[in-house]
């Protein structure tokens, strides 16, 4: 049979050498920020039940683990604190009190690993007895609301405390209006012009944060986060958020979660020329792990496909619980 096809795309898939040559998207360990959890105490390592392979570490154990992680080539982490219920209050005062174990952890990590990029999380939820990212107050109609501008002041204090402790980049994950500009000014006024902002620009009200809230015991005590986190149905609204964050001085724009929002990653990538980050969140990690535990898919191939898709969509920075596993591959 004679060949009538001029263009045969399979020619470019015929061997590993050709496939490697024409590969459009490659992942590197340099692309990752590894989210990690620190808790009080000594010599404690506690696995997050819904995130196999991910642990909460006391500071001593965290430092040990970081030796392993940095030896693997990981250059950036995002550190989250797990506070006991007894230390939480309505105003999240523990988030900026001098000398807390989280601030001490940032300080010691920086001292021991001066070249590691440390990102910290700015939001009230790990410290809030209400489990919300902002300040909760009764509204006129008797319902409870999340106050915006009053929350900014608390976020400002938290930000300065984290910068003083040694954070390189702060990650406002709270979704209050105007916080990027407010925190930029606050950092500059406090003498931290070099501390950057990786803004959670398009953060959606997502079911995929479930395992993370287990890890930090930080689920909201009432209601949901829909008055501040975005509606999963909205993509154009992400551009509004991004324009604001860009204008207010964000150094990177982040989309979160990643997998169900690849279109949003792409649209931010096409519109803005600063780095776009994506947060491959806890539930996305848990999905792959849970299916793999049941033998329903190959975990390594599943991980690589997910991470490649996030990068292909346009994220040049990926926050992922898979970072260590990825770094161990080669």
Active site residue 112: no
Instruction: From 119-127, 187-195, 268-276, 288-296, give the range in contact with ligand PBG by CB under 6 A.
Output: 119-127
Contacting residue, 130, 133, 241, 245, with ligand PBG by CB under 6 A: 133
Based on the shown chain and the rule CB under 6 A, indicate whether residue 130 belongs to the binding site for ligand PBG: no
Cβ neighbours of 85 (radius 10 Å) = 7
Q: Which of these segments, 6-14, 101-109, 120-128, 138-146, binds ligand PBG (CB under 6 A)?
A: 120-128
Active site annotation includes 203: yes
Q: Is 151 in the site for ligand PBG (CB under 6 A)?
A: no
- Does residue 176 bind ligand PBG (CB under 6 A)? no
CA angle 224, 228, 230 (to 5 degrees): 95
Among 281, 306, 310, 323, binds ligand PBG (CB under 6 A): 281
Cβ–Cβ contacts within 10 Å for residue 101, how many?
A: 18
**Binding residues for ligand PBG restricted to 52-91, rule: CB under 6 A:** none
Q: Which of 12, 11, 32, 74 is nearest to 308 (CA)?
A: 32
Please give the Cα distance from 183 to 170 (Å, whole number). 9
Of 114 and 227, the one with the shorter C-beta distance to ligand PBG is: 227
Estimate to the nearest angstrom the gap between the alpha carbon of 24 and the chain centroid.
25
Which residues in 13-27 are b (16+ Cβ under 10 Å) and which e?
eeeeeeeeeeeeeeb
> Looking at 118-126, 134-142, 145-153, 156-164, which segment touches ligand PBG (CB under 6 A)?
118-126
User: Interface with ligand PBG includes 228 (CB under 6 A)?
Assistant: no
From 88, 157, 256, 289, the catalytic residue: 256
Task: Find the binder of ligand PBG among 57, 102, 212, 228 (CB under 6 A).
Answer: 212
Integer Cα distance of 135 and 42 in angstroms: 32
Q: Which is nearer to ligand PBG, 256 or 311 (CB)?
A: 256
Strand extents, DSSP E, the chain: 32-39, 45-47, 55-58, 76-82, 117-122, 135-138, 144-147, 169-172, 196-203, 252-256, 276-280, 317-320
Residues known to be catalytic: 203, 256
Q: Which residues bind ligand PBG (CB under 6 A)?
A: 121, 123, 125, 133, 173-174, 209, 212-213, 281-282
């Amino acid at each position: 049979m004679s060949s009538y096809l001029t263009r045969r795309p399979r020619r470019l898939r015929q061997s590993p050498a050709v496939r490697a040559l024409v590969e459009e998207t490659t992942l590197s360990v340099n692309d990752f920020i590894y989210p990690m959890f620190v808790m009080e105490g000594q010599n404690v390592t506690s696995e997050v039940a819904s995130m196999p392979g991910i642990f909460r570490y006391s500071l001593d154990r965290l430092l040990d683990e970081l030796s392993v992680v940095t030896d693997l080539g990981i250059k950036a982490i995002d550190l989250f604190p797990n506070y006991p219920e007894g230390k939480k209050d309505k105003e999240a005062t523990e988030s900026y009190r001098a000398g807390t174990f989280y601030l001490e952890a940032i300080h010691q990590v920086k001292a021991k690993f001066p070249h590691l990029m440390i990102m910290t999380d700015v939001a009230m939820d790990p410290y809030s007895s209400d489990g919300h990212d902002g300040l909760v107050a009764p509204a006129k109609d008797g319902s409870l609301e999340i106050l915006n501008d009053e929350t900014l002041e608390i976020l400002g204090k938290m930000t300065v405390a984290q910068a003083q402790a040694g954070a390189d980049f702060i990650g406002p994950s709270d979704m209050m209006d105007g916080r990027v500009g407010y925190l930029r000014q606050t950092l500059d006024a406090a003498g931290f012009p070099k501390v950057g902002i990786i803004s959670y620009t398009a953060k959606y009200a997502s079911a995929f944060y479930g395992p993370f809230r287990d890890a930090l015991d930080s689920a909201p005590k009432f209601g949901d986060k829909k008055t501040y986190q975005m509606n999963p149905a909205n993509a154009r609204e992400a551009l509004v958020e991004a324009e604001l964050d860009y204008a207010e001085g964000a150094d990177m724009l982040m989309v979160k979660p990643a997998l169900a929002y690849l279109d949003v990653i792409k649209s931010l990538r096409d519109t803005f020329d600063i780095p776009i980050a994506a947060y491959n969140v806890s539930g996305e990690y848990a999905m792959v792990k849970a299916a793999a535990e049941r033998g329903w898919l190959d975990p390594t191939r599943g991980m690589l496909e997910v991470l490649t898709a996030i990068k292909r969509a346009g994220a040049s920075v990926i926050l992922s619980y898979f970072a260590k596993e990825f770094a161990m591959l080669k």
